[in-house]
């Protein structure tokens, strides 16, 4: 890993922790008085689960992380938390075999394919000292599951907060919930405005949420990038 790449990662991690996440948790605490059940889809190293654990008292947490190395890290990190359940699984709209792209920056690894001709991807690749083709370091076949199939086995009356960060695959995760999306009170979800992923359109994601009675509360734009997190509320719980 080149020195400039390391500096870039550290820089964005600091912005995420001390600015972006802070804005999000302040808004969550303003809107959610009690958080019993939390689902973290695309958990990565558990930053958002840590936010919830440090600011609420959840009774049950489900975490999903398909990357083996990071999943093993999470197992050690949360080994003493008996209310937290880890799944080494990628969620989608079908239970099937699929290609999972392991990208140079593992935060962007995804079931979605990168658009190699995208100008923002080329700029991002240059930042990490490679080409757009070099951003994908490996591809493996994995078994995807739907969140519906998981929740069928879980004893949850409601989901107070569902967080989804699956790098362009967020819509498919929601589609895979089927009618169980009605169990969710709040959704914190990542949006990409750069078309970095093939066949990804943020407008379709927003339309899907609106059509399922979710209204946008707030947008959290991440500095110096083209992506943002958005918080939606289920009107059926208001």
What is the predicted pLDDT for the residue at 221? 94
Segments forming the whole domain that contains residue 158: 3-29+36-237
- Virtual torsion, Cα 95, 96, 101, 102, nearest 10 deg: 70
- Secondary element (H or E) of residue 208: helix 202-211
Q: What are phi and psi of 111, to 5 degrees?
A: -75, -20
Whether pTM > 0.85 for this model: the answer is yes
What is the predicted pLDDT for the residue at 163? 98
CATH assignment at residue 191: 3.40.50.150
What is the predicted pLDDT for the residue at 75? 97
What's the number of domains the chain is made of?
A: 1
What is the predicted pLDDT for the residue at 117? 76
Maximum CA extent, the chain:
50
pLDDT per residue, tens digit, the chain (238 aa), is: 567 666 777 777 888 888 899 999 999 999 999 999 999 999 999 999 999 999 999 999 999 999 999 999 999 999 999 999 999 999 999 999 999 988 776 667 889 888 777 776 677 777 677 777 777 778 999 999 999 999 999 989 999 999 999 999 999 999 999 999 999 999 999 998 877 888 789 999 999 999 999 999 999 999 888 889 999 999 998 6
What is the predicted pLDDT for the residue at 39? 98
What is the predicted pLDDT for the residue at 69? 93
With beta carbons less than 8 A apart as the criterion, state whether 65 and 90 touch: no
* Neighbouring residues of 175: CB distance < 8 A, sequence distance ≥ 6: 93, 208
- Which residue bears the tokens 């009690």? 34
């Amino acid at each position: 890993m080149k020195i400039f790449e390391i500096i870039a990662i550290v820089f964005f991690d600091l912005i995420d922790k001390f600015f972006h996440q802070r804005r999000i948790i302040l808004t969550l605490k303003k809107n959610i008085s009690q958080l019993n059940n939390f689902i973290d889809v695309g958990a990565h190293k558990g930053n958002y689960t840590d936010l919830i654990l440090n600011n609420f008292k959840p009774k049950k947490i489900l975490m999903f992380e398909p990357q083996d190395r990071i999943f093993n890290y999470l197992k050690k990190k949360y080994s003493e938390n008996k209310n937290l359940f880890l799944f080494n699984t990628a969620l989608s709209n079908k239970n099937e075999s699929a290609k999972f792209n392991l990208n140079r920056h593992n935060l962007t690894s995804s079931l979605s394919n990168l658009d190699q001709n995208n100008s923002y991807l080329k700029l991002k690749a240059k930042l990490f000292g490679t080409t757009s083709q070099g951003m994908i370091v490996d591809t493996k076949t994995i078994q995807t599951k739907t969140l519906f199939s998981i929740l069928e086995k879980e004893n949850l009356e409601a989901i107070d907060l569902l967080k989804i960060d699956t790098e362009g695959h967020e819509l498919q995760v929601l589609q895979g919930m089927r009618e169980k999306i009605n169990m969710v009170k709040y959704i914190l979800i990542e949006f990409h405005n750069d078309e970095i992923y093939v066949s990804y359109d943020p407008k379709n994601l927003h339309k899907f949420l609106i059509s399922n009675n979710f209204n946008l509360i707030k947008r959290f734009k991440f500095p110096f990038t083209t992506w943002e997190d958005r918080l939606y509320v289920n009107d059926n719980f208001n």
